[in-house]
Structure 1
Amino acid sequence: MKKIAPIIVFLICFSTLPIDISQATEPEDTFTVTGKVLHQSGEVAGSTSIKITGYDSVWTDSAGDYQYTDIASGEHIIRAYFMNDGHNVAYRKIIINSDLQLDWIVDNNWITVSSDDQLATFSISGENIQENKPHAELLEFGPYEMDQYYNVTAFYDNGLNQTAMLKLQGGSAGEPLVNHLVMNQGTTNKYGYLSDMLGNSMPNVDVQIGQHISRTNSNGFFLINGLNIGETVNLSVYQNEIEIIATHQIMIENSLGWHNLTSEITPEMPIAPEFLTSSFDIQIDDDNSKLIQWTKGDYTDYFELSLDSEVIYRGSSTQFDFTPSEVGSFEFSLTAINLNGSIAAIKKISAVVLSPSEDSFWNVGMSWQYAVDYLPESTNGTHELTMTAIGTEVIEDTFGVEQECYLLRVEDIYDSPDRIRYYWIDSVNLLRLKTYSETSEYFVAGSMGWNFTTENGAGTNLFSGNPVNAHFNRTNIIGVPGHPNGYDDTNNIIEVTENVTVNTPSGSYLTTYFKITDLNDNIDSWELWYNETVRNWVKIIDRLPGSHSEAVTYHLINHSGVPTIPQFVTQSSIINFQNVQLEWGGFGRAVSYTLLENGIEVYQGNESSLELMNKDDGIYQYQVKVVLPSGAELLSEIITIEVEYIIQLPILTMPYTQNVTDDNELLVSWTSIDNVDWYSVLHTGSDGSMTEVYNGSATSYMFDDLDEGQNRFRIQAGITDGKYSELSNSSYVNYDPEESNNDNFLPFLPLFGILSTITLAVIFFQNRRLVS
């Protein structure tokens, strides 16, 4: 009995412990993120890439919809890249603990707030904006228009509050959380404008308070978030390495966050002017002129406006009427001057002067093929790269200058199927100013700037005949977690040699040869051979490619020349949605465009794009016809679009798994899918057989016939012509009617165990007394 009693006591005590078997078999929670991308007007946005850090990117379909599945719970960063709507991005933080519907608006973003004070309330205000919200794990306000200022205020239960003012931005891979605020009780924010002694804004200046640093934006505004109240810290203000406000100590107090700053340095040089006129094209025989205008800053006595290396205006006016006298590409530069010196406008503008019958230098559809060799050698050996002009776009280079560019679609025979790649080529110098490459696993975005000057320091361009110096700047954003971004800034000397013969796989060419040599290490960073007939480089050696290669060499294989018929931007393809988006390039002085579908006219007008809605499955052939002023008509080549519509998956809006103990009706619900006629609810019972229990147009159904054990639900969507989607995600419902009865006894188990333990203990000690 002495040996058995302790064992019985242990077993009884152990039997009273609660055991949750369901946790041992509980699957890991994953969720879906779905949404739409729209314009502010409500119209569907262009093709947009959505990327959650750590997951492959997805693209919106023709309806603007996107979908992520199997996203783990927790904090994530999500990014939208509006590729066809200005190439802008928007980054934000999200927290996943259930399926998430997240709709984006082009050029809008959210302000997110986190706080450890669960009793706090929050408000946001801006132009025509006023919202109030209670505490949440991740509070979000928006989406709101970017590049606007907003005030966010936290109100605490002790009557205190704090406010932060910020300018809503898109963010970047390096700084994705520029719109996220941490507003804990006991902290505060400092924000304001930095100006000089005359009240002028001072951009790109570092303001440091304690360990926190903020750089002023173009308006001179800064924000520092998360300062601890009661601390005494240093405040420093530096522009580059120049201290413009002497470092001094401040006490962080619980007061209004405004903290405007004024530089202690008196400006003496003129304020840099800015062109108000953008780069432009003009025809020489139209008997017209172009008014070029600019701003005038303080301390300016007069201006010098230069066309290439020649000063064409000197005076105090802020405008000049330009009348072209010869065909070509020209660059305007502007300088403000006073007795203390001069300062040039950061931005330069270009003018392309065309003859009456001249089309764009590069037209849509022009293409060039290159054999590309890498050093060290690529594992694939020589690559074949095709660059095709698909349009024009004005972008800002890394010097802040707006440049008109040709947009090229770039394709390599070794590219993965999901890779997209584009180059933006400066229309004046024919050099890259921007690159973008993306696959499902990463993206790389490069921004560049070229500043060419003459021997006298005057601005010029590469083809002017007198460039001597080139300042090159590049930033590469590498969209791979943990991968550093790339940055180059070099000063170079240019050597130009005319009438140089060079051999390429496509033939021998007479060229103008450009050698651009780095002044720091005397390495020939670029060697370029230009041919007028090809209208492009026939050979390039790039020893500063901004990649893992030491050098990249391009040899011309083939080129299309200037197209003599209209060209499609849209390529032949197979699409999985019902709407067909077609785009073609402008052609000379076309009077009108006509779009033919399988030989039948479906559009006539002056637009260069059209979306055809709700196309049936099938193969469609398209041509564009242009009518010229003479009445002549020209037909494009045919492109083929095969429509193979795939219906989107409906998404069950139920828990992945749940346990029930009664046979009451169970609500089965799912998301709505556009343009479908029916939904089917499929039930798999404990015997493994699957049965359709509902078919109709509703997006929910009350089910009242659960099998004992595991029940599985899935949804399918379809249309009346017999096409249907794949099966949706699953929801498992475990039905255990006996568990309910057992639950009535469970509350007494602990009491029973305790009483049994006491009884056995009494018997045990009585036996010991008798034995003794």
Structure 2
Amino acid sequence: MRIQLSLSLILLLALCSPLFENAAGNETQVFTISGKVFDSEGNPADSTSIRVDSMASVWSSDGTYSVSGISEGQHTIRAYFMNNGHTVAYRQIYVSQNIELDWHATKNWITLHAVNQSGEDLDNGLTPTFELVETGESASTNNGRAEFGPLPIGSYYTIKANIGGGESEAQYVRMKLQEGSLTETHINDFKLHQNHNSRYGYIVDQLGNPIQNVQVSTDNKSSLTNSDGFYQIENLAVGSVYNMTVQQANVDIIPSFNETITFGEGWLNLTSNVELIFPDNVSFTTQVQAIQQEPLTIEWAGGDFTDRFALYMNGMLVYNHTDPYYTFIPQTAGSYEFTIEAVNLNGSTASSQPLLIMVLPESSSSDLWSTGMSWDYEVTHTPLSMYGTHNITITTLGQEIIADAFERQREVYLTRVYDEHHSEGEKSYKWYDAETLLPVRTYWVDAPSESSYFQEGTLGWNFTSQGSQANPLSGLENQELHFNRTNIIGVPGHPNGYDDTYNSVVVTENVNVTTPAGSFSTTHISITDDTDGVVSWEFWYNTTVRNYVKITDRLPGSHSDSVSYVLTDFEVPTQPQFIIDEYLMSNKDYDVKWGTFQGAVSYELFENNVSVYSGTGTTFARNNQLDGTYAYRLVAKLPSGHSMESEEYVLSLVHVVQPPQFNPIESYTTEGEDVMLSWEAVENAIWYSVTLQNDNGDTQTIYNGSEPNFKIEDIEQGRNRLRVNVGTSEGKISEWSPSVFIMVEETESDSAFGEIQAYLPGVGFGILLVTILLIITNYRRLSDESQ
């Protein structure tokens, strides 16, 4: 019986063993990428973030890193050197085992994958070879894949590949090694098809200067030239004939031609005889700001070669004209993003930085936050910021309704964030949910004198309890939170940020907290990530302060591991508050604005102790102000007959006169014809000065007078550059205006006379020759007669 039982068990195990093997084989195998990170000098790098696909970032602070849990297959991996030049490198990597990969700041890899003519993996018996031409280095292959690097970013490299053929069947690709970005993760990755080749080269003008943004196209493939004029089209079938077009702004700058694809180096350098001049850069001079629901003049500065400007509001064209300004009349409260392009016949040039204008609605007396309320915080970053501790002030400007990261319409408070370390013109705004008082949107823009960098974040805090919407300030237990954030980083090469987490929420009442602003009884909110068990946020809310008195943020979405906010002071306004973003003004026309003061029936505004306005509005326009210092006081009058007076607000004005703008003129004329110039009149102008620069670079003043027009007589042949500036009765002198160019061509009679002049030397020589022959013939005849 025991023998029979044993045999039965053995038989059962034998039958089940394939099932166990299949179950084990179905387990997903994962791998690890690890290594070191170095700065550009070869020393261990400071804080560096390594990220694979959309997995969580791994931070290296000691020069080493390790990312685990990576499945087999093709992946994107990037390194962001936070403290070593803010540089980044994206590359492709195929993972089928544990990999050691060392990173160097300012370096990246070239990655290659050889495939057959159909784009599929090569047969097992076919092994491609790859060579880096500049060094002669060869790369080992694995399943048709190879790589070279790390190599210095910004240099050009040529790859020679042989996929199953002899030396005469080599194909080439050439490229400029780049950092890559979130939208260009494959920028240095090449899939090379068998029996195909590339065409690459430089496109230059007649003087040998590179031409940027030229599109070289054939069939369904195209390439845009970079700043060096370089282009490349890959994977063209050998033996085929392709029709190539070369265009800039949809204009042929080289006639189309046919190109037969052969093996070997793929150089195809091209020279254009057509010169297309695009508009110079355009940028907003109006800065990001919050305004009441009243008209605002948006201004910008263009450059040379500009015919007109195209202004877009939230993606829609709202202005298409020559004036460098537009009057924005908001119909509803909200945020409006403006973009601007300079346009001429050849194309357009867009501003690199948008302009954000926030239109505030009227405040309600029932709002938890009202205009002018402010909170001061001591902010500490870990690792510590280069400035150490930051002291910031968050001031309420008004309310609006915006969409959060989950596309839910949320009522929010718009606030201005002042940081003691901000440069002049640097601005930061945050939008806080009116229920949870948590940020739904963030916006920061650098000072125009520093850079055009910006950052914009969109957040979503979806609190629920037993499937229904909840608010952590309500005290409900057993809450959950789905958090989402996208940070758009307007810094070249800087990766954008993205977070999406599910969390558990614990709310505890009556927790005592002491800060520099005092001791408070608070509602403590603790939010824990369900995936890793980390407490991502802690908030301490106090009803008297109407805000959080302490915040610990361990998922800040910035360069820091954590950020803490500790309340140092707060103010619930007991007096009217001015809302003015600038303390130094350069425009003599400006608005004095103030927030709605609860209970006020009217306001009186004083300028340098003189009453200048009395009424129910919250904005007063000042026009044609002289340079100087202006002190403003506001008195809010209450129904009881009492009044509340604001603190004094001091503004300094130094008016900058904008240069005149030429009215459109003909770009071409004929020698001998008069040219009528005119420009927009400038207020209080007493003189205008016009200069002309000819083809030789010689500059002269051709007009100095008080009228905004002038007729040019006897303008020289060739290209002439004209500019105008203005002087005013206030003693101000503007900068020079954007240039206009007039090409003066020779007249037809001059051209005909030139041809005759060119012909005359030949005619003269012929007459001279005939005369000499006649003299010789006559001399011989006379000699014969004398003999």
- 1:288-367 correspondence runs (5 A): 360-367=367-374
Q: Deviations over 1:37-82 (max 9, x none)?
A: 9xxxxxxxx9669xxxxxxxxxxx9643322225899xx998756x
* Contact 1:77–1:92, Cα closer than 8 Å, also in 2: no
Once residues 111 and 34 of structure 1 are traced to their aligned partners in structure 2, the CA distance between those partners, rounded to angstroms, is 10
Once residues 633 and 109 of structure 1 are traced to their aligned partners in structure 2, the CA distance between those partners, rounded to angstroms, is 39
* Contact 1:35–1:104, Cα closer than 8 Å, also in 2: no
Once residues 443 and 466 of structure 1 are traced to their aligned partners in structure 2, the CA distance between those partners, rounded to angstroms, is 38
From 696, 703, 708, the counterpart of 2:706: 696
Shift in CA distance, 94/280, structure 1 to aligned 2, threshold 3 Å: closer
Give the match for residue 680 of structure 1.
Answer: 689
Give the match for residue 67 of structure 1.
Answer: 301
Shift in CA distance, 635/571, structure 1 to aligned 2, threshold 3 Å: farther
**Cα distance, 1:568 vs structure 2:** 0.8
From 503, 513, 518, the counterpart of 1:502: 513
Give the match for residue 728 of structure 1.
Answer: 737
Give the match for residue 763 of structure 1.
Answer: none
Give the match for residue 584 of structure 1.
Answer: 594
Letter in 1 for 2:475: G
Shift in CA distance, 552/77, structure 1 to aligned 2, threshold 3 Å: farther
Q: Deviations over 1:458-511 (max 9, x none)?
A: 322111111421222223333446655433332211112233333434454443
Shift in CA distance, 499/23, structure 1 to aligned 2, threshold 3 Å: closer
**Cα distance, 1:576 vs structure 2:** 1.4
**Cα distance, 1:562 vs structure 2:** 1.2
* Contact 1:539–1:554, Cα closer than 8 Å, also in 2: yes
* Contact 2:515–2:549, Cα closer than 8 Å, also in 1: yes
Give the match for residue 605 of structure 1.
Answer: 615
Matched, 1:31 2:299: no
Q: How many residues align structurally?
A: 469
Please give the secondary structure, in 2, of the residue aligned with 1:744. Answer: helix
Q: Deviations over 1:307-347 (max 9, x none)?
A: xxxxxxxxxxxxxxxxxxxxxxxxxxxxxxxxxxxxxxxxx
Matched, 1:389 2:396: yes
Please give the secondary structure, in 1, of the residue aligned with 2:659. Answer: coil
Once residues 727 and 509 of structure 1 are traced to their aligned partners in structure 2, the CA distance between those partners, rounded to angstroms, is 60
Once residues 396 and 548 of structure 1 are traced to their aligned partners in structure 2, the CA distance between those partners, rounded to angstroms, is 26
Identical columns (%): 35
Shift in CA distance, 418/747, structure 1 to aligned 2, threshold 3 Å: farther
Q: Deviations over 1:424-450 (max 9, x none)?
A: 111221111111112341322222222
* Contact 1:32–1:67, Cα closer than 8 Å, also in 2: no
Q: Deviations over 1:639-673 (max 9, x none)?
A: 12222221111234689998x88444233343454
Matched, 1:90 2:100: no
**Cα distance, 1:569 vs structure 2:** 1.2
Please give the secondary structure, in 1, of the residue aligned with 2:655. Answer: coil
Please give the secondary structure, in 1, of the residue aligned with 2:423. Answer: coil
Once residues 316 and 305 of structure 2 are traced to their aligned partners in structure 1, the CA distance between those partners, rounded to angstroms, is 17
**Cα distance, 1:603 vs structure 2:** 1.8
Letter in 1 for 2:536: S
* Contact 1:656–1:731, Cα closer than 8 Å, also in 2: no
Normalised by the length of structure 1, the TM-score is 0.51
Shift in CA distance, 593/100, structure 1 to aligned 2, threshold 3 Å: closer
Once residues 406 and 748 of structure 1 are traced to their aligned partners in structure 2, the CA distance between those partners, rounded to angstroms, is 80
**Cα distance, 1:598 vs structure 2:** 1.8
**Cα distance, 1:398 vs structure 2:** 2.8
Letter in 2 for 1:719: T
Please give the secondary structure, in 2, of the residue aligned with 1:31. Answer: coil
Q: Deviations over 1:148-188 (max 9, x none)?
A: xxxxxxxxxxxxxxxxxxxxxxxx999xxxxxxxxxxxxxx
From 578, 602, 605, the counterpart of 1:568: 578
* Contact 1:716–1:726, Cα closer than 8 Å, also in 2: yes
From 624, 632, 648, the counterpart of 1:638: 648
* Contact 2:377–2:565, Cα closer than 8 Å, also in 1: yes
Q: Deviations over 1:18-41 (max 9, x none)?
A: xx99999x999463577999xxxx
Once residues 629 and 437 of structure 2 are traced to their aligned partners in structure 1, the CA distance between those partners, rounded to angstroms, is 38
Once residues 282 and 682 of structure 2 are traced to their aligned partners in structure 1, the CA distance between those partners, rounded to angstroms, is 12
* Contact 1:571–1:639, Cα closer than 8 Å, also in 2: no
Shift in CA distance, 642/489, structure 1 to aligned 2, threshold 3 Å: same
Once residues 635 and 605 of structure 2 are traced to their aligned partners in structure 1, the CA distance between those partners, rounded to angstroms, is 6
Matched, 1:514 2:525: yes
Matched, 1:421 2:432: no
Shift in CA distance, 398/21, structure 1 to aligned 2, threshold 3 Å: closer
Give the match for residue 554 of structure 2.
Answer: 543
**Cα distance, 1:620 vs structure 2:** 1.7
Once residues 676 and 455 of structure 2 are traced to their aligned partners in structure 1, the CA distance between those partners, rounded to angstroms, is 46
Once residues 687 and 71 of structure 1 are traced to their aligned partners in structure 2, the CA distance between those partners, rounded to angstroms, is 18
Shift in CA distance, 578/607, structure 1 to aligned 2, threshold 3 Å: same
**Cα distance, 1:515 vs structure 2:** 0.6
* Contact 2:607–2:631, Cα closer than 8 Å, also in 1: yes
Give the match for residue 375 of structure 2.
Answer: 368
Give the match for residue 714 of structure 1.
Answer: 723
- 1:625-664 correspondence runs (5 A): 625-652=635-662, 662-664=671-673
**Cα distance, 1:625 vs structure 2:** 0.5
* Contact 1:35–1:102, Cα closer than 8 Å, also in 2: no
**Cα distance, 1:566 vs structure 2:** 0.9
Give the match for residue 624 of structure 2.
Answer: 614
* Contact 1:512–1:531, Cα closer than 8 Å, also in 2: yes
Please give the secondary structure, in 1, of the residue aligned with 2:414. Answer: strand
Matched, 1:528 2:762: no
Once residues 722 and 137 of structure 1 are traced to their aligned partners in structure 2, the CA distance between those partners, rounded to angstroms, is 39
Matched, 1:433 2:437: no
* Contact 1:445–1:476, Cα closer than 8 Å, also in 2: yes
* Contact 1:449–1:472, Cα closer than 8 Å, also in 2: yes
* Contact 1:369–1:556, Cα closer than 8 Å, also in 2: yes
**Cα distance, 1:516 vs structure 2:** 0.5
Letter in 1 for 2:418: E
From 407, 416, 419, the counterpart of 2:414: 407
* Contact 2:303–2:738, Cα closer than 8 Å, also in 1: no
Please give the secondary structure, in 2, of the residue aligned with 1:390. Answer: strand
Once residues 281 and 586 of structure 1 are traced to their aligned partners in structure 2, the CA distance between those partners, rounded to angstroms, is 7
Mind listing any 5+ residue stretches in structure 1 that lack a counterpart? 1-19, 38-45, 50-60, 82-88, 113-135, 140-171, 175-278, 283-357, 757-772
> Once superposed, what is the RMSD of the aligned Cα atoms?
5.1
Letter in 2 for 1:475: T
Shift in CA distance, 622/35, structure 1 to aligned 2, threshold 3 Å: same
Please give the secondary structure, in 2, of the residue aligned with 1:540. Answer: strand
Letter in 1 for 2:524: Y
Once residues 504 and 595 of structure 1 are traced to their aligned partners in structure 2, the CA distance between those partners, rounded to angstroms, is 37
Shift in CA distance, 705/137, structure 1 to aligned 2, threshold 3 Å: closer
Shift in CA distance, 79/730, structure 1 to aligned 2, threshold 3 Å: closer
Letter in 1 for 2:444: S
Give the match for residue 43 of structure 1.
Answer: none
Letter in 1 for 2:372: G
Give the match for residue 474 of structure 1.
Answer: 485
Matched, 1:595 2:605: yes
Shift in CA distance, 682/429, structure 1 to aligned 2, threshold 3 Å: same
- 1:271-282 correspondence runs (5 A): none
Normalised by the length of structure 2, the TM-score is 0.50
Letter in 2 for 1:392: Q
Once residues 173 and 577 of structure 1 are traced to their aligned partners in structure 2, the CA distance between those partners, rounded to angstroms, is 22
Q: Deviations over 1:673-697 (max 9, x none)?
A: 4664653334579997854624133
Larger Rg: 2
Letter in 2 for 1:617: D
Once residues 494 and 316 of structure 2 are traced to their aligned partners in structure 1, the CA distance between those partners, rounded to angstroms, is 18
Once residues 704 and 540 of structure 1 are traced to their aligned partners in structure 2, the CA distance between those partners, rounded to angstroms, is 72
Give the match for residue 207 of structure 1.
Answer: none
**Cα distance, 1:280 vs structure 2:** 13
Give the match for residue 17 of structure 1.
Answer: none
Letter in 2 for 1:595: L
